[in-house]
Amino acid sequence: MRELSLYTGCLIPNRYPGIEKATRLVLDRLDIRWSELKEAACCPAPGIYRSFDKITWLTLASRNLVLAEEKNTDILTICNGCFSSLMDANNILKSDTGLRNEVNSHLKKIGKEYLGTIEVRHIIEFLYKDIGAEKLDKLIEKPLELRAAVHYGCHLLKPTKERKLGGAECPVFFDELVEATGAMSVPYEGKTNCCGAGGGVRSAMLETSLKMTEYKLERMEKAGVDCIVDACPFCHLQYDWGQAELAKAGKAYNIPVVHYSQLLGLALGYEPEEVGLNLNEIINPGFEEKIALVQKGKPR
């Protein structure tokens, strides 16, 4: 297994630092060889920069890729947006010589060159493929007895030709990882639908984006879940802030939102505050009680 450079992007360190903390704790506990990708910048966010100018998007992404190439490590992302930008850019630059030359002509100005020697990983597919749900299951002494609405997020799965993680209509790998923590992945209608945040829609058309979020929340609520489990800080923000925004309009769902790094951290015995669950907008005391009960209980 090649060493990993943890790439946190913008949203996690600057809005949900608890997810960063949880990831660090979990990687260390699992004895994974990793270090920070220092001096990295915005991935850049696919929804806006890829829409605006492909060459700029590729060039900024390639700079982050080169930082990892210089360290001879793969990149580990914990955000679907970062995963999408960095993986797609890496694939494009590896296969298209014309674009690679163009990007390298820009990189030359900062003394860098893209070579195409590393891979881009996402924590979910990394844990699933390189660690395995069974191994995680064995490490967990006090299984979390929670009903979870798993939200994969579009860019973890699609485009499927690029991701190569199987089909996008009814995937199972993320659910298996969630169930390894002792939580139950509850089926719900519209499970693979979008949270509504991407493509620059949240920033420019908040109301529209919240309609898509509500579509999801209604169905999660109907399925009777204790929490939403995501793999991306932008989906996380859309569900968390989105519920706060919808509550102002009189629709309260009160479903806590948990990134998988945080869920795994809880299952490994870290307190909710250590993994930053208290930094969410939506705080549900009933949920915290359930976790406390499990964590204080007898090991299995």
Partner 1 sequence: MKNSEILTCLQCGTCHASCPSGRYTSLNVRKIVRDSIRKDISDEPELWMCTTCYNCQERCPRGIKVTDAILTLRSEAVKKGEILPAHRKVCRFLIETGNSIPIDDKHRLLRKRLGLGNPEPAHKKALKEVRALLASTKFDELIKA
Binding-site ranges for partner 1 (CB under 8 A):
10-11, 13-15, 17-18, 20-21, 24, 38-42, 44-56, 59-60, 63, 106-107, 109-110, 112, 154-155, 158-160, 168, 193-194, 196-201, 203-205, 208-209, 211-212, 215, 276, 279
Question: Taking the complex as a whole, how short is the minimal distance between the CB of residue 278 and partner 1, in angstroms?
Answer: 10
Question: Taking the complex as a whole, how short is the minimal distance between the CB of residue 96 and partner 1, in angstroms?
Answer: 14
Burial 116-151 (b: 16+ CB within 10 A, else e): eebbbbbbbbbbbeebebeebbeebebbbebebbbb
Q: Give whichever of 47 and 256 is closer to partner 1, judged by the CB atom.
A: 47
Q: Which residues are bridge partners to 228 per DSSP?
A: 149, 257
- Residue pair 27/14 in contact (Cβ under 8 Å)? The answer is no
Question: Taking the complex as a whole, how short is the minimal distance between the CB of residue 266 and partner 1, in angstroms?
Answer: 15
> What does the alpha-carbon distance between residue 269 and residue 33 come to, in Å, rounded to a whole number?
21
Question: Taking the complex as a whole, how short is the minimal distance between the CB of residue 135 and partner 1, in angstroms?
Answer: 27
For residue 36, count other CB atoms closer than 10 A to its CB.
12
Question: Taking the complex as a whole, how short is the minimal distance between the CB of residue 78 and partner 1, in angstroms?
Answer: 14
Q: Give whichever of 143 and 269 is closer to partner 1, judged by the CB atom.
A: 269
How much of the chain is helix, strand and coil, in % rounded to 5? Answer: 55, 10, 35
Cα 52 to its chain centre, rounded Å, is: 24
Q: Give whichever of 68 and 146 is closer to partner 1, judged by the CB atom.
A: 68
CA angle centred on 175, ends 83 and 79, rounded to 5°: 20
Question: Taking the complex as a whole, how short is the minimal distance between the CB of residue 225 and partner 1, in angstroms?
Answer: 20
For residue 295, count other CB atoms closer than 10 A to its CB.
16
Q: How far is CA 139 from CA 20, 30, 76, 148, 290, in A?
A: 21, 9, 22, 20, 20
Question: Taking the complex as a whole, how short is the minimal distance between the CB of residue 188 and partner 1, in angstroms?
Answer: 15
Q: Give whichever of 198 and 256 is closer to partner 1, judged by the CB atom.
A: 198
User: Taking every pair of C-alpha atoms in the chain, what is the biggest distance, in angstroms?
Assistant: 60
93 burial via Cβ count (<10 Å: 0-12, 13-18, 19+) = buried
Q: Give whichever of 209 and 243 is closer to partner 1, judged by the CB atom.
A: 209
Amino acid code (one letter) for 127: L
Q: Give whichever of 117 and 160 is closer to partner 1, judged by the CB atom.
A: 160
Q: Give whichever of 53 and 289 is closer to partner 1, judged by the CB atom.
A: 53
